Structure 1
Amino acid sequence: MSIAEAGEFGLIARVVARLETGPTTLLGPGDDSAIVAAPDGRIVASTDVLVEGRHFRRDWSSPADIGHRAAAANLADIAAMGAVPTALLVALCAPVDMEAAWAEDLAGGLSAEASLVGASVVGGDMSSSPTLTVAVTALGDLAGQAPVLRSGAQPGDIVALAGRVGHAAAGYTVLSRGFRTPKALVEAYRRPQVPYAAGPAAARAGATAMIDVSDGLLQDLGHIAKASVVGVDVHTERFEIPGQMRDAATALGVDPLQWLLAGGDDHALAATFPAGVPLPEGWRQIGVVHDGTGVTVDKKPWTGPLGWDHFR
């Protein structure tokens, strides 16, 4: 059955049937608006849009994979503020001849990823469009903590990372060269493994700045450096290159450091902490903050790519 055959309201009913309800959802899909609990009294909000051919390809990823990726991109932004995600709002623009089952499986992926943090898809919108587009807005709760901004890093802080980097970029390169293995790298591109709990844990531990690594580690650390008016130096000896990544890099003629330092879509979290503060579980030091500007690698300017830019 195509989307046109299902009709707007028939498709909505099919999609809603795939959604789970989290504990913060007081009123889910079905009315003019949803109602989401906000115990802290402050709501953290973030939006991302994914466009077919720019952010995903249907011949590379299943609709459930795309749903997981779309949810993760937004939920990670909430975690990067030190907050706990509570809800997602999703807008889908799709060609009328697309199968309704595709949208249902997309909803299943969105819901499954949100359920990892106790959040749920609470509403959204649909429209016909020649270009398949998924737009997601995430909401979150600070649970009494101060938000961790990009602008709080201080000289003398250490730079730490939670989660993995480079895996999704390696998987993207593998797929773009026409291969489907190593499976671990391809799956990392299709479904990121986001360290959601590491964000609130960092806030509780006294992180001074934090960011979601979505566009590339060096580029995103550059946002912290600019906002905080400091310099950041990344130490490459702190990174371990997995065997499969090293083998793939050799086969494809790529420097694996480019994947680690400039690859996006893993949605790791990068943060700065005062020196001497014990790092929370799952965090590891990868560099230092100093009295300077910009981002360097092993105290030298990085001449390779920095990361993703939508208009470059």
Structure 2
Amino acid sequence: MTLTVDQLSEAELLARIFPRLHAGTSMLLGPGDDSAIIAAPDGRTVISIDTQVQDKDFRLAWPNGYATTGFDVGWKAAAQNLSDINAMGAVPTALVVSLTLPGTTPVGWVEGLADGLSAAIVALGAKSCSVAGGDLSGGSEIVVTVAVTGSLEGLAPVLRSGARPGDTVAVCGNLGLSAAGWALQESGIAPADYSPAMLRAADLFNRPEPPLPAGPAAALAGATAMMDISDGLLRDAGRIAAASGTRLDLDDVVLAELAAPLAECATALGADPLQWVLTGGEDHGLLSTFPAGAALPHGFIGIGSVMSPDAGQPPVTVGGRNFKSVVDGAVGWDHFAV
């Protein structure tokens, strides 16, 4: 018989969660008191927050038969928050987690979520970051909210608003793989029938791999603007363009090269891999701009240039053309619209 949340008291459930949470060097006081205490030697704290809602941001069951595990949700919750800190050029220091759980949720699923949070922190290279505590509540669906803090470690934050005409536009991390993985799980192709390339895409949808060392490296290399690609390359490039008062022109030849590794997944699904690169979100790579002629840090690939705004052009162009000429449908993820 499966043990469920409503068969335990809150204290009993927490007693199963706390030992699974990663404790990094930044935590001075962890779970157990009304608040945690996190070291802030820089004197500044970077902070962000993200929420995942069942059937809005994740599904427990997919059309192809895949069952989302607590480990998957915990990993993604950590990854997307760590990535936001990375995008400021900072180093993550702590996570706090709020869980809303239906009483029928298996305890093993919740334990898996705690394991996924901790595993992501270690595997993605944020070992100094701690899971410092959080909150539990009951509800009709699973909701996972994570707040994250970080340290700039003496560096200036890299904002979205610093891009200047002549800068190089560059990316680091995966592009389009998470979108391909989402499409696979929406399809009728069973996971047992995935090729290695398809399995990789599905794995990265369930457990993204943001390039955490790249944010501070970009800051040290003089990045002028930066953000996490969570809602799609075009939508997020538009956000940098709007914040900076510029236009970003993306190189269509380089984008086609980035789409090539997705060809096998696209063929299986009858899709266009370039659409995934341009509009797919949740890879949690970095979109950055660097001064013209600057050496790009390890892992970054130049994909375009920052231009002066043009009244006759949208804020993002592809090969000098309106992005609508190469995109079919929505330009990225929006919780309330497309």
What TM-score, normalized to structure 2? Answer: 0.90
- Shift in Å at residue 64 of structure 1? 0.6
Q: Report whether the alignment pairs 1:95 with 2:115.
A: no
- Shift in Å at residue 242 of structure 1? 6.3
Distance 1:178 1:120, change over 3 A: farther
Structure 1 residues 66-85: aligned runs within 5 Å: 66-85=73-92
Q: Report whether the alignment pairs 1:111 with 2:127.
A: no
Aligned to 1:281: 298
Residues 77, 144 of structure 2: 8 Å contact kept:
yes
Unaligned runs of 5+ in 1: none
Residues 241, 256 of structure 1: 8 Å contact kept:
no
Q: Report whether the alignment pairs 1:310 with 2:335.
A: yes
- Give the one of 254, 268, 275 matched to 2:271: 254
- Matching residue's letter, 1:220: D
Aligned to 1:175: 185
Aligned to 2:244: 228
Q: Report whether the alignment pairs 1:272 with 2:289.
A: yes
**Which whole-Å CA distance do the structure 2 matches of 1:80 and 1:55 have between them?**
21
**Which whole-Å CA distance do the structure 2 matches of 1:261 and 1:63 have between them?**
29
- Shift in Å at residue 251 of structure 1? 2.5
3-state DSSP of counterpart to 2:289: strand
Q: Report whether the alignment pairs 1:50 with 2:52.
A: yes
- Matching residue's letter, 2:223: A
3-state DSSP of counterpart to 1:138: strand
- Shift in Å at residue 241 of structure 1? 4.4
Q: Report whether the alignment pairs 1:13 with 2:1.
A: no
- Shift in Å at residue 188 of structure 1? 1.2
Q: Report whether the alignment pairs 1:188 with 2:213.
A: no
- Matching residue's letter, 1:120: S
3-state DSSP of counterpart to 2:20: coil
3-state DSSP of counterpart to 2:110: helix
Residues 42, 151 of structure 2: 8 Å contact kept:
yes
**Which whole-Å CA distance do the structure 2 matches of 1:256 and 1:14 have between them?**
43
Residues 148, 207 of structure 1: 8 Å contact kept:
yes
**Which whole-Å CA distance do the structure 1 matches of 2:130 and 2:40 have between them?**
14
3-state DSSP of counterpart to 2:239: helix
Distance 1:279 1:244, change over 3 A: closer
**Which whole-Å CA distance do the structure 2 matches of 1:145 and 1:54 have between them?**
36
- Shift in Å at residue 51 of structure 1? 0.5
- Matching residue's letter, 1:302: F
Unaligned runs of 5+ in 2: none
- Shift in Å at residue 193 of structure 1? 1.2
Instruction: Find runs of 4+ consecutive structure 1 residues off by over 3 angstroms.
Output: 241-244
- Give the one of 307, 322, 334 matched to 1:301: 322
Distance 1:243 1:261, change over 3 A: closer
**Which whole-Å CA distance do the structure 2 matches of 1:8 and 1:112 have between them?**
24
**Which whole-Å CA distance do the structure 2 matches of 1:243 and 1:295 have between them?**
22
Aligned to 1:132: 142
- Matching residue's letter, 2:335: H
3-state DSSP of counterpart to 1:151: helix
CA RMSD of aligned residues (A): 1.2
**Which whole-Å CA distance do the structure 1 matches of 2:137 and 2:25 have between them?**
29
**Which whole-Å CA distance do the structure 1 matches of 2:261 and 2:156 have between them?**
40
Residues 259, 277 of structure 2: 8 Å contact kept:
no
**Which whole-Å CA distance do the structure 1 matches of 2:263 and 2:131 have between them?**
38
Residues 16, 111 of structure 2: 8 Å contact kept:
yes
- Shift in Å at residue 277 of structure 1? 1.0
3-state DSSP of counterpart to 2:40: coil
Q: Report whether the alignment pairs 1:202 with 2:246.
A: no
Residues 87, 114 of structure 1: 8 Å contact kept:
no
Residues 260, 273 of structure 2: 8 Å contact kept:
no
Aligned to 1:121: 131
Q: Report whether the alignment pairs 1:217 with 2:238.
A: no
Residues 181, 203 of structure 2: 8 Å contact kept:
yes
How many corresponding residue pairs? Answer: 312
**Which whole-Å CA distance do the structure 2 matches of 1:44 and 1:132 have between them?**
27
